[in-house]
A and B are shown apart, each in its own frame.
Chain A
Amino acid sequence: MSAKFELNDDSVVVIVGSGAGGGTLGTELALKGIKTVILEAGARHEIEDFVNDEWDSFAQLAWTDMRTTSGSWRVARDFANLPAWIVKAVGGSTTHWAGASLRFQEHEFRTRSVYGDIKGASLLDWPITLKELEPYYEKAEFRMGVTRTNGIAGLPGNNNYKVFEKGAKAIGYQDVSTGRMAINSAERDGRSACQQAGFCFQGCKFGAKWSTLYAEIPKGEATGNLEVRPNAHVLRIEHDASGKVSGVVYADKDGNQHRQKARIVAVAGNSIESPRLLLNSASSKYTDGLANSSGQVGRNYMRHMTGSVYAVFDRPVRMWRGTTMAGIVRDEADHRPDRGFVGGYELETLSLGLPFMAAFLDPGSWGREFTTALDSYENMAGLWIVGEDMPQESNRITLSSEKDRFGMPVANVHFDDHPNDIAMRNHAYRQGSAMYEAVGATRTFPTTPYPSTHNLGTNRMSENPRDGVVNKWGQSHDIPNLFISDGSQFTTGGAENPTLTIVALAIRQAEYIAGQMSQKAI
């Protein structure tokens, strides 16, 4: 039975956001007997509400509140007010994610040491190691039901995967499979097996894909220790005279403002909203925003080096059938600087429906070069590139001069590719095209990055408080009862899809918070 806490109950942990970080942390704390309130800006849409329609689903789930953009990235031109394709709803972007669940590699926790001093990059070693995180990766994989772990079978490959696999093997790749996916290959944990419906991005209609919406939060609510308050958009975090955070002010769906008191506040609003909230919480004591004595809040914004390769064949593929991200090549994931860049990348199958293919294949393009590509839609295969991008201090979330309907400055997202990102993307475009050409592609399309889905790094973890915003537990260096619980705490991005690491960190953070609370340290 879901709990219901009073606004003036100052014993609760308040979590801002219900996605991979916030939803997991809230559930885990509730399971440990800790009273927790999750404030979610979006509405609660359950599985039966999801729609197998790209634009209708986008209208239902996507975060479309005003944001602004700057920088030389193409997204700023094509989608000036949509820098990110992420979700505003209970479950956050775990409703939308594709399910790829890969652990970081050992060297990716210490990139400054391994890659060296890369000009223009603000690389930093994480204050934790793979070894320290491994037990939590194990817990995360078990609770998410990741295929090819814990004796769980891999998913079968769909048409898009079969083309991808054959192409990959034809050019000599060996580490190619249907991947480690948080999608049930058989019924598990009260959730259905994958029915190969496609539309993974639109919310899984079968609940086969792990999401905090239905795989975590209901378990937390069942303890009686967790309340999830949807349509509760947090505007600022408040603190007491001693400087410790004391609660948050949020607007409900009618725009009425409420003050929820808190013993601890954990921010998990994604790497754009989380720093925005800290910056919008500036006070006479913290004039540059909360937890920002380092000046690092909002900096080092990473979005992964991404791109896609679509290819047309002379016969049908029907790539939209089945799991959207149906397979992974990992041969390029390691660090081999002889390729002309540091870090590595994954190749993962991807498909878009016709409406989104039209919008994203080459935004702004028109005429027959463009439309003949869509004419071959049925014969298309596709993959997504996801690689480590270089953190840069100037890639940054700042407060815009534009205000939202509550009068709070919206986030501006500034991004420029680093030369390493460009070199890696060009390499990946060549490799992806070669895979498809090896199995008979008649045309390939190196497709520009979509609005960001992997937003990382804007409240990064650091050993030294001067270099980042939070310590190895996601606890802010400046304010002991203020935590960051989403991907914004990543020191660097790795080449892997971030959700598994966010979940592992949240499980670990819950353990730390519970310990600190019982010791009365916070």
Chain B
Amino acid sequence: MKDNDVSLSRRSLLKGATAAAFMISAGAIINPMEAWGLEVKALKPETMQTLIQMARDIYPHDSVADRFYAIALKEYDTKSASDAALKSQVEDGVAKLDELATAKHGTRYVDVGWESQRVAILREIEKDPFFQKVRGGLVVSLYNQKEVWPLFGYEGESAIHGGYVNRGFDDIDWL
């Protein structure tokens, strides 16, 4: 990054600090705390930012970093490049979330302070096809990430390690 960009980023950070601690910068969303950025091509970067917050509110896991939610949602951007119907469903869905948030709290969805307040907004739209699509996709794309599994203790494939016959299949010691 050039110095210029950094200062721009700092300004954005100060100005736009949100619940999810994201910055929006020229076609990308950046998470300085986790040191990653996601280039957004088809959707508005703000839309992806809102989707990530929405995903976290749908399946909140405090020990799962934002980047896993971003990875789980990335396909909405890649698919929107060639799928106009999907793109408008997502943009419209997020716009509606922001409308509801503005009406209730006077801010965008991502800037609503408490999870319970954001969840109350989601409950209003949980029957909508947009919500159902995001939730139904996420339940696979979030929990099917091999990098996420260790955060839940899940060990994944075992046959390549010879199973658990010599690796603790019966090692429970507290019963």
Partners in one complex: yes
The answer to whether A201 has its CB under 8 Å from any CB of chain B is: no
| Pairwise interchain contact A159-B159, C-beta atoms closer than 8 A | no
Q: Once bound together, how far apart are the Cα atoms of A322 and B172, in whole Å? A: 12
Chain B, residues 146-160, CB within 8 Å of chain A (1/0): the string is: 001100111111111
Please tell me if the beta carbons of B163 and A158 are within 8 angstroms of each other in the complex. Answer: no
CA distance A318 to B156 in the complex (A): 12
B-chain residues with CB within 8 Å of residue A321 when the two chains form the complex? 155, 158, 164, 167-169
- Contact partner of B169 (CB less than 8 A), chosen from A51, A159, A315, A377, is A159
Q: Least Cβ distance of B5 to chain A in Å?
A: 36
Give the chain B neighbours of A320 by CB distance below 8 A: 154-155
Does more than half of chain B's interface fall in helix, strand or loop, or is it mixed? loop
B11 at the interface (CB under 8 A from A): no
Task: Write out, one digit per residue, whether chain A residues 365-388 have a CB within 8 A of any chain B CB (1) or not (0).
Answer: 011101100110110000000000
State in angstroms the CA–CA spacing of A166 and B156 once bound together.
27
B119, A375: Cβ atoms under 8 Å? Answer: no
Name which of A19-27, A242-250, A352-360 contacts chain B: A352-360
A377 to B156, CA, bound (A): 13
Residues of A within 8 A of B174 (CB): 315
Measured between beta carbons, the chain B residues less than 8 angstroms from A195 are: 159, 162-165
When chains A and B are docked, how far (Å) is the Cα of A51 from the Cα of B154? 16
Give every chain A residue within 8 A of B63 (Cβ-Cβ): 375
Which residues of B sit under 8 angstroms from A194, Cβ to Cβ? 163, 165
A206 close to B (CB within 8 Å): yes
- Minimum CB–CB distance for B112 against chain A, Å: 16
Contacts A52-B160, A163-B175, A358-B139; A196 near B61 (Cβ below 8 A): no
B57 contact set on A, CB distance < 8 A: 367
* Interface pair A199/B159, CB less than 8 Å apart: yes
B154 with A196: CB separation less than 8 A: no
A51 CA to B59 CA, complexed, in Å? 27
* Bound form: Cα–Cα A359–B59 in Å: 12
Question: Complex formed: what's the CA distance from A315 to B157 in Å?
Answer: 23
Q: Bound complex: CA of A159 vs CA of B164, how far in Å?
A: 11
Q: Within 8 Å CB of B155, what residues of A?
A: 318, 320-321
Residue pair B159, A439 in contact (C-beta under 8 Å): no
Given A159-B169, A317-B172, residue A52 in contact with residue B156 (CB < 8 A): yes
**A318 and B162 in contact, given A354-B149, A366-B135, A368-B60 (Cβ under 8 angstroms):** no
In the assembly, what is the distance between CA of A157 and CA of B142, in Å? 32
- Name which residue of chain A comes closest to B126, CB basis: A366
> For the complex, is B130 an interface residue (Cβ under 8 Å from A)?
no
Q: Assess the A55–B140 pair: CB atoms within 8 A.
A: yes
Of A162, A197, A199, A370, the residue contacting B175 (CB under 8 A) is A162
B170 at the interface (CB under 8 A from A): yes
Contacts of A355 in B (CB 8 A): 140, 143-144
CA distance A358 to B61 in the complex (A): 13
CB of A162 within 8 A of CB of B170, answer yes
Chain B, residues 32-51, CB within 8 Å of chain A (1/0): the string is 00000000000000000000
Are A156's CB and B170's CB within 8 A? yes
The docked-state distance in angstroms from the alpha carbon of A357 to that of B143 is 9
A295 within 8 A of B: no
Question: What's the least CB distance linking B173 to chain A, in Å?
Answer: 9
Name A296-324 residues within 8 Å CB distance of B: 315-318, 320-322
A149–chain B nearest beta-carbon distance, Å: 22
In contact, A197 and B143 (Cβ under 8 angstroms):
no
Most A CB contacts (10 A, CB to CB) among B57, B144, B152, B169 go to B169
Asked if B24 is at the interface (CB within 8 A of a chain A CB), the reply is no
Q: A198-B158, A359-B139, A366-B135 are in contact. Are A354 and B168 (CB under 8 A)?
A: no
Decide yes or no: A52 and B143 within 8 Å by CB, A159-B170, A318-B168, A368-B60 being known contacts. Answer: no
Task: Judge if B3 is at the interface, Cβ distance under 8 Å.
Answer: no
Asked if A205 CB lies within 8 Å of chain B CBs, one says: yes
- In the complex, A239→B126 CA distance in Å? 52
User: Is the Cβ of A196 less than 8 Å from the Cβ of B152?
Assistant: no
**Chain A residues closer than 8 Å to B142, beta-carbon distance:** 358
Which residue of chain A lies nearest to B154 when distances are taken between CB atoms in the complex?
A: A354
Tell me the complex Cα distance, A359–B139, Å. 6
Q: Are A199 and B158 in contact (CB under 8 A)?
A: yes
| Beta-carbon contact of B140 and A354 below 8 Å | no
Residue on B nearest A354 in the bound complex, by CB = B154
A53 at the interface (CB under 8 A from B): yes
Q: Contacts A52-B158, A367-B119, A371-B60 hold; do A196 and B163 have CB atoms under 8 A apart?
A: yes
Residues of B within 8 A of A162 (CB): 170, 172, 175
Contact between B170 and A157, CB atoms less than 8 A apart: yes
Please determine whether A52 and B164 come into contact, CB atoms closer than 8 angstroms. no
Q: Determine if B60 and A367 form an interchain contact, defined as CB atoms under 8 angstroms apart.
A: yes
CB pair A371–B170 under 8 Å, yes or no, is no
Contact with A along B54-70 (1 / 0, CB 8 A): 00011111010000000
Q: Is the CB of A359 within 8 A of B140?
A: yes
Contacts A52-B157, A159-B172; is A196 near B165 (CB within 8 Å)? yes
If A358-B139, A439-B175 are given as contacts, then 12 extra A-B residue pairs at C-beta distance below 8 Å, sorted by A number, are A158-B170, A166-B175, A195-B163, A322-B169, A353-B156, A354-B152, A366-B59, A367-B57, A368-B60, A377-B152, A377-B154, A378-B152
17 sampled A-B residue pairs with Cβ under 8 A: A52-B159, A54-B144, A158-B170, A162-B170, A166-B175, A197-B158, A198-B158, A316-B153, A321-B167, A322-B169, A353-B154, A354-B148, A358-B143, A366-B126, A371-B59, A374-B152, A375-B61
Query: What is the interface of chain A, defined by CB distance below 8 A to chain B?
Result: 51-55, 156-159, 162-163, 166, 194-199, 205-206, 315-318, 320-322, 353-355, 357-359, 364, 366-368, 370-371, 374-375, 377-378, 439
Q: Which residues of B contact A (CB under 8 A)?
A: 57-61, 63, 119, 126, 135, 139-140, 142-144, 148-149, 152-160, 162-165, 167-172, 174-175
Give me the 3 closest cross-chain CB pairs, A-B, nearest first. A378-B153, A195-B163, A197-B163
